[in-house]
Structure 1
Amino acid sequence: MTHDRRLTPATDRVAHDSLRGVLDRPAYTPGFPARLAVPLADLLNAPDGRRDRQLNFGADLTVIEQRGDRTFVQASLDGYCGWLATVAITRDLPPLTHRVTAPATHIYPAPDMKRPELASLSLGARLSVSGTEGRFARLAIGGWVPLQHIGNQPATDPVPVAESLLGTPYLWGGNSRWGIDCSGLVQAALTACGIDCPGDSDLQRAAFPETRQIRRGDLLFWPGHVALAISDSRMIHATAWQMAVIHEDIGGAIARIDAAGDGPFLGAHRPPV
């Protein structure tokens, strides 16, 4: 049986207990819970490998193996597996209460926008809020974020979430305001609405049923690429063509991508929006 490396919680040394009798490894582990403690981290395909995806602040993790300054984890959000810098994770797990709903925000040392920021967080970062003062929320780990930039309820439409990232630079494997790719944009938009969504476009295509008539909220697929329909004729996507998140006519995109030899258009799939 072939296992998708991206979704298999196992290294060459250690596998999760759920894989006993499935994968042969020298050791097995139940893993232990942890959380991303830095604003943004690359999830690598090997201890010193390339970026597959990124994780945002507050992402819940299961640790499978620690190997020096690298740790192999599985992300709770979508099951994606990979290596992180060990210093990027914490075992301090206060209850998560909010998420960042703005494209980006800052953590301040006090409830005062004139103080120098401590860090910047992207859309979708998950927070544990322990109180409020004025227009700021106090984080359980320390620091303050503007109340205007966070929420504790899911969004109702993925399109405006995606559109809040218009102009964000394209970044292969990116999942943040600082850089995002096509599947990262779709995942950010759907996750904000409480819809489970895989991290890569091929997994996203497999996750949702196909539809013949395109409507707002549908996902549009090409080989290695995905876009989000904002109507039956317009879409938003993160594209290396313009190296940014842009709007584009669906018909024009189909023709352009075909002409570039990167087609064909594979059709539309419908998340449960």
Structure 2
Amino acid sequence: MLLPDPRTHAYQPDSRRAEDALRGQLSEADWDYVTPRPVAATARLSLRSEPRADAVQVTEALPGEALELLWEDENGWAYVRTLHDRYLGWTPAAGLTGTGLTGTQRGELLTVTALRAHAYAGPGVSQPIVGELCLEARIVRTPGETVTEGGRFWLPISLPDGRDAWVGETVLSPIREADAAALALRFLDTPYVWGGRSAWGLDCSGLTQLVFSAFGQTLPRDADQQREFLGAVERPRRGDLAFFPGHVGLMLDERRMVHANATNMRVTVETLGEGEYGKKLAVGCTGFGRWTP
């Protein structure tokens, strides 16, 4: 029997635990099936391959992001799934809020549009920083008037961990870029971080997933999953994804590509076939994929 992809299907042969959705799909009968329950990330959380701080980061949950909790171990680690792409990993249970983040209890649920941002203890840039935010993070607009300070507008919010805070209004401004390719260029020089999904540090498929998500276009987490998800095309155009063994980039036109890469340890733009690295990329390119609604 072909086992489901362990990146997105929760089962662990050693502990004999599996999510309830896999009943009838696993070869043996002695599994302890678990029903996931909704939680949310209180901050940026590293999701790791094993319940250890030194295990590989496989992905990242963003502040306020909806998750499912599968199970916990005796050392305070939780096995969770990111709902938007169903990706699994281990994270400290202390970083989860048990009720999820809906915004219905205290105010309106908002999505952060700034690449990086901070939340403050009060309405002013000299106030203590109490939270770290990023593009696609979720916060709640709480009741209260907007405050003007130094020509800047401040909104009262609730952070995903429940603390009250303030953010500058520009943190929630509409995205000004016209498409995912233009938004990706704003990430230039962002550090490369394996498993990262924010402007504090990200990897190749984290970048493509994040910028597509900002325009309401959901992609799977990893490069191979993204290739399988998208329709293949022969000649690339702006907005298509370029695929390589274990790597993905976003095309700016027929030849230029923006990508988070470990060669430069940051987000850069390369021209396929030009320069030493560009020639290497052109030779290694295995195809292109295009989003189709």
The reply to whether TM is greater than 0.5 is yes
Please name the residue that 2:9 is paired with: 8
Q: How far 1:247 moved relative to its partner?
A: 1.2
Please name the residue that 1:30 is paired with: 35
Q: Distance in 1 between matches of 2:200 and 2:248?
A: 19
Contact 1:34 1:91 in 2 (8 A): yes
* Aligned pairs for 1:1-273 within 5 A: 1-11=2-12, 12-23=15-26, 24=28, 26-38=31-43, 40-48=44-52, 49-68=55-74, 69-96=76-103, 97-131=109-143, 133-134=146-147, 135-140=153-158, 141=162, 142-151=164-173, 157-252=179-274, 254-257=278-281, 264-272=284-292
Deviates further, 147-156 or 201-210: 147-156
* TM-score, normalised via structure 1 length: 0.91
Q: Distance in 2 between matches of 1:122 and 1:239?
A: 20
Q: How far 1:155 moved relative to its partner?
A: 6.9
Letter in 1 for 2:244: W
Q: Distance in 1 between matches of 2:81 and 2:17?
A: 13
Q: How far 1:136 moved relative to its partner?
A: 2.1
Contact 2:122 2:128 in 1 (8 A): no
Contact 1:226 1:237 in 2 (8 A): yes
Identity, in percent, stands at 30
Q: Distance in 1 between matches of 2:10 and 2:65?
A: 16
Q: How far 1:91 moved relative to its partner?
A: 1.5
SS at match of 2:7: helix
Q: How far 1:26 moved relative to its partner?
A: 3.1
Q: Distance in 2 between matches of 1:59 and 1:113?
A: 26
Please name the residue that 2:106 is paired with: none
Q: Distance in 2 between matches of 1:272 and 1:98?
A: 27
Q: How far 1:232 moved relative to its partner?
A: 1.6
SS at match of 1:173: coil
SS at match of 1:5: coil
SS at match of 2:258: strand
Q: How far 1:243 moved relative to its partner?
A: 0.7
Q: Distance in 2 between matches of 1:152 and 1:88?
A: 29
Contact 1:10 1:64 in 2 (8 A): no
Q: Distance in 1 between matches of 2:171 and 2:32?
A: 44
Q: How many residues align?
A: 268
Q: How far 1:250 moved relative to its partner?
A: 2.5
Structure having the higher Rg: 2
* TM-score, normalised via structure 2 length: 0.85
Q: Distance in 2 between matches of 1:205 and 1:220?
A: 9
Aligned pair in 2 of structure 1 residues 78, 152: CA closer, same or farther (>3 Å)?
farther
Deviates further, 240-249 or 152-161: 152-161
Gap regions ≥5 residues in structure 2: 104-108, 148-152
Runs of 4+ in 1 over 3 A off after TM superposition: 151-156
